[in-house]
Amino acid sequence: MDKQKLTTLARQALRFSYSPYSKFRVGAAVIGNNGKSYTGTNVENASYGLTICAERVAITKAVSEGVTGFTALSVAVAHKRAAVPCGACLQVFGEFAKNDAVVILCNEDGQTVVETTFGELLTQPFRSIRQDR
Ligand code: THU
């Protein structure tokens, strides 16, 4: 799957964004190491804190179908400026992705604003470390 196709999928997912509270539509798409792609949108709730981000929806859809590795993530927003995934989503993505996994951020025009890697965005994910480190 090419990057452009992944971004198209993330943008298509925007249409199902359930975001009546923030009105900030987010769509995400990931490529699993089985070669398949999975999409997600943000799903908000009247109890705001229960909101789930688009990235984690895409990731959990894939993992719940047996995928345990990702090579790329594309995030689309319905705004002029692209958005960087939140720390929680990066931590969850990092559970299943290597540092060189591609992360693409795109805006409402479908323009790729940033192409980076997971390792660039989250340099120190939560993990246990040795005391003498
Ligand atoms: N949101 C995402 O879907 N992904 C992120 O990485 C951060 C924020 C959503 C949550 C909420 O519905 C809206 O964007 C505004 O925060």
11 bridge partner residues: none
Q: What is the pLDDT of residue 72?
A: 98
State how far the Cα of 58 lies from the Cα of 56, in Å rounded to an integer.
5
E strand or H helix at 56? helix 54-63
96 lines ligand 1 (CB under 6 A): no
pLDDT digits (tens, 9 = 90+) for 50-100: 999 999 999 999 999 999 999 999 999 999 999 999 999 999 999 999 999
Q: Tell me the whole-structure pTM to 2 decimals.
A: 0.96
Residue 120 is among the residues annotated as catalytic for this protein: no
Report how far apart, in Å, the C-alpha atoms of 79 and of each of 13, 14, 18, 37 are. Answer: 14, 11, 15, 23
Query: Six-digit token pair at 127?
Result: 């993990």
Q: What is the pLDDT of residue 23?
A: 98
Å from CA of 101 to ligand 1 middle? 21
24 lines ligand 1 (CB under 6 A): yes
Beta strands in the chain (DSSP E): 26-32, 37-41, 70-77, 97-106, 112-117
Residues 6+ apart with CB under 8 A from 121: 84, 85, 90, 103
pLDDT range class, residue 133, cuts 50, 70, 90:
low
SS (H, E, C) 86-100: CHHHHHHHHCCEEEE
Say if residue 49's pLDDT is above 70. Answer: yes
Q: What is the pLDDT of residue 111?
A: 82
